[in-house]
Structure 1
Amino acid sequence: MSVVSQPNTKVYNILIIGGSKGGVTLARELEQAASHLPVRITILEKREAYFHTVGALRAVVHKDVAKKLWIPYSNLFRNTGRYGHTVVQGVLTRVFPFHVEYASADSPVNFLPFDYLVLATGSSYPAPAKMCSFTVSQGIETSMRYYQKIREAARILVIGGGPVGVELAGEIATEYPEKRVILVHNQSKLFLDEYKDSFRDKALEELKGLGVQVILNEKVVIPDEKALDPNLGSRILRTASGRAIESDLQFNCTGITVDARYMHSLSDNVSQLVDPYKGQIRVRLTLQVRDPRFPHIFAIGDCNDHPCFKLGIHAAGQGRMTARNLRRLIEHDVSHQRRDLARMAPLKLEEYRDKSNLMTVSIGPYRGVTQSRFGLVLGNWYSRIFLPSKAMAVDTRWKDLHADRVTASWLQDDL
């Protein structure tokens, strides 16, 4: 259906909270899909530049990678002149039915209106796998701090045998084969039970081939008063069974968390909107929030409770589907020359049903293991030939965001 906007047609404000994989994919797809519609796209993002999380662990062993992972948003939109698509830096604090509040460097309380809202706020994870820094300089400094600590340490403990722990151990062991790298996991095999044993066994084989000491069926006890910090230096940590492990540097590669407290302002019954245990936003398969009062609010990626695995490929897929659904909703609004939330209910929207446990884990720049959508397990040859494991797809991401390296002043700085 093609709808040509009229000069006096209402401009629809599409507000996307979060400028990472899901949010950026949605914005780019929507700009193209809704180019014939009166749409203004705004991204509210806490960081001043896009952070390419895929390369975060490579950056702590190769210092020249860190600054390349930060990509400016300045050229994200290809046509900003018509309705003023833009990226605003700020931290979301509260959501209301037709506007949000956010904090910025200039003011603790700011407002952004919306006709449709998409929450793509992602998840948090212990550094250095995900970056909590809001500025490029702070982010690069964080990567460099871990880089230096790894260089200085002789014994490095990695707690957690999921994708992050396996990848980090592989990166360190590949770059520093002389160091003792210890990975401790609390299950009998690496990764989750949902993955094939051959995939889990292959990852273990690759780690051992790099000289990583893998300890399974043990849980490291981290004292509350002395959480892991790269500045703590040498220490002895014990497992739940009493086993002592001495190391000079420790990494916590467990504990993904979702913070959706900004939803508390939307309803008195917040448990209807947010899972009280996981902190994820409750959504339908259409990715609209489950509360029938708010069919114009969506949540995509890690922050929602869709049953798919929380992977970048699903965040991007949900972003693309939501762009198509938003186009349909706005076309419906324009064609009826009115906006009525009650009229949205009969519309048939796409549903996200992809629950595949596809997984690719790089174990250093030359090794890796993949479980395909069809359950086929692929080893190092796939990583070497088909995956951008040496470059971590950095150049591809710069291209995707239409980013100009000349405008990224940090690329010129010496590390």
Structure 2
Amino acid sequence: MPDKKNVVVVGAGFAGTGIASSLSAKLDSNKYNLILINSRSYALSLPASARLVVSAQSKLEETSFVKLDRLYKNGNGETKVGIVKSIQTKGDAKGGEVVLESGEHIPYEILVLATGATFRGPLDIPEHEQDVMPHVNAWRAKFANAKHVVLAGGGAVGIELAGEIKDEHPDTKVTIVQGDRKLLNPTYTDSLRDGLNQRLQSRGIEILYQEYIDDIPAEGSVGVTTRSGRNIETADLVISTRGPKPNTAFIASLGQDTLNGQGYVKVKPTLQLLNHPHIFAAGDIIEWAEQKQAAKTRGHAAVVVENVLSVLGDKSATKEYKGSPEIIIVTNGRDGGMAYIPFFGGFTLGDWFARLVKSRTLMISFFRSALGY
């Protein structure tokens, strides 16, 4: 029997684990090895990370870090802990190798890139496993000691982090500096954006609109000045909560036409890379006109899995990604938040719905269940 070929998935976020789990049930294990490469031996729930880094009482390190040993159906798959540094393709564009930080080369017949995105500051969870809890504990201490936290960015991350800080440290002053005229962005209705503004301000959270912080001050300094010259004198912890940066530096090794100017992977509607039919991408790294959310990865995974199976069967990839509805649930601590549902003309739901669906539990049980726990 000829050697089995490798189907390699890089990244164990929502996209990567969903794709790996589905492929493990559908690939012929007599023909293919399924290999999931991740920087850690576990997956972590990024939607839980704002509470994780603020609250020691949450003990989220016990529930939001989930081992990958139960991910694969019928044991058809393996996890390789490592960090991919480059991709080397064959001349026929039908496979290649990924090169790990350790120097190891892993050949692939099909490669799926799902490396997600990285935030700055407390949500910049380290890649190396041994560094994760020191990072978390250091940030918990910083939040406990801060008197005035300034969050540079009023998107979902800034809003949710503000709510967690107020839950855990109600006497800490919190200021959000937002470049737009409202929270979030114009993808969402004024009803949602205004409702979140009201809820945050009712907790004593200050919001400065149409202001920017261009440079995050060095740790230990006090005070920060906005672009317009406004001085926030008492700020002793300033954090960037702007949008994340895609983890795609190593993908640039495929050539200059692979990434756009912001570092997102250029893909066809089949989620194949433009010039690499045996390489797919999914999740937060793809160039697609939609908000980056974990919920979107289900749609990505369905397209990738069907097309991977087609390509392995010497057929053309024909399933196309059509986009996903812009649903959002934004927490405001454990007991509040708001949701926007785009159906029936679009409508918002308030604290009771956010609390029921996300704020109390952060949907950890669903995350764990998807990983076999």
**Secondary structure of the equivalent of 2:323?**
coil
Q: Distance in 2 between matches of 1:259 and 1:23?
A: 13
Distance 1:55 1:228, change over 3 A: farther
Aligned to 2:100: 103
> What are the equivalent positions in structure 2 for 1:186-205 lying under 5 Å apart?
186-205=179-198
Q: Distance in 2 between matches of 1:388 and 1:265?
A: 39
Q: Distance in 1 between matches of 2:178 and 2:279?
A: 38
Aligned pair partner of 1:256 in 244, 247, 263: 244
**Secondary structure of the equivalent of 2:365?**
helix
Q: Distance in 2 between matches of 1:203 and 1:85?
A: 43
Quote the offset at 1:299 in angstroms: 0.8
Aligned to 1:94: 86
> What are the equivalent positions in structure 2 for 1:45-64 lying under 5 Å apart?
45-63=38-56, 64=59
Distance 1:233 1:216, change over 3 A: same
Q: Distance in 1 between matches of 2:115 and 2:180?
A: 30
Quote the offset at 1:258 in angstroms: 2.1
> What are the equivalent positions in structure 2 for 1:202-281 lying under 5 Å apart?
202-222=195-215, 227-228=216-217, 232-245=219-232, 246-267=234-255, 270=256, 272-275=257-260, 277-281=261-265
Quote the offset at 1:240 in angstroms: 1.1
Distance 1:66 1:234, change over 3 A: farther
Quote the offset at 1:14 in angstroms: 0.9
Aligned to 1:117: 111
Quote the offset at 1:296 in angstroms: 1.1
- Residues 200-254 of structure 1 deviation map (CA, whole Å, 9 limit, x = unaligned): 11111110121101111111231xxxx456xx23511101111101212121101
**Secondary structure of the equivalent of 2:140?**
helix
Using the size of structure 2 for normalisation, the TM-score is 0.91
**Greater strand proportion:** 2
Q: Distance in 1 between matches of 2:248 and 2:369?
A: 31
Aligned pair partner of 1:287 in 262, 271, 274: 271
Quote the offset at 1:37 in angstroms: 7.0
**Secondary structure of the equivalent of 2:79?**
strand
| 2:349 counterpart of 1:352 | no
Q: Distance in 1 between matches of 2:189 and 2:210?
A: 18
Point out where structure 2 has 5 or more consecutive residues left out of the alignment: 90-94
Q: Distance in 1 between matches of 2:154 and 2:278?
A: 39
| 2:46 counterpart of 1:77 | no
Structure ID, larger Rg: 1
Aligned pair partner of 2:358 in 367, 382, 388: 388
**Secondary structure of the equivalent of 2:121?**
coil
Q: Distance in 1 between matches of 2:127 and 2:112?
A: 23
Distance 1:361 1:37, change over 3 A: farther
| Equivalent AA in structure 1 for residue 43 of structure 2 | Y
Quote the offset at 1:39 in angstroms: 2.8
**Secondary structure of the equivalent of 1:247?**
coil
Quote the offset at 1:112 in angstroms: 0.8
Aligned to 1:314: 296
Q: Distance in 2 between matches of 1:182 and 1:265?
A: 40
| Equivalent AA in structure 2 for residue 361 of structure 1 | V
Aligned to 1:409: none
RMSD after superposition: 2.0
Distance 1:143 1:348, change over 3 A: closer
For the 8 Å contact 2:329–2:358, the answer to whether it is kept is no
For the 8 Å contact 1:90–1:102, the answer to whether it is kept is no
Quote the offset at 1:195 in angstroms: 1.1
Quote the offset at 1:320 in angstroms: 2.6
For the 8 Å contact 1:59–1:66, the answer to whether it is kept is yes
**Secondary structure of the equivalent of 1:388?**
helix
Q: Distance in 2 between matches of 1:388 and 1:304?
A: 26
Q: Distance in 2 between matches of 1:171 and 1:209?
A: 15
Using the size of structure 1 for normalisation, the TM-score is 0.82
Q: Distance in 1 between matches of 2:33 and 2:15?
A: 18
| 2:140 counterpart of 1:158 | no
Quote the offset at 1:74 in angstroms: 2.0
For the 8 Å contact 2:308–2:317, the answer to whether it is kept is no
For the 8 Å contact 1:366–1:384, the answer to whether it is kept is yes
**Secondary structure of the equivalent of 1:265?**
helix
Distance 1:180 1:261, change over 3 A: closer
Q: Distance in 1 between matches of 2:98 and 2:3?
A: 23
Aligned to 2:176: 183
Aligned to 2:372: 402
| Equivalent AA in structure 2 for residue 381 of structure 1 | W
**Secondary structure of the equivalent of 1:194?**
coil
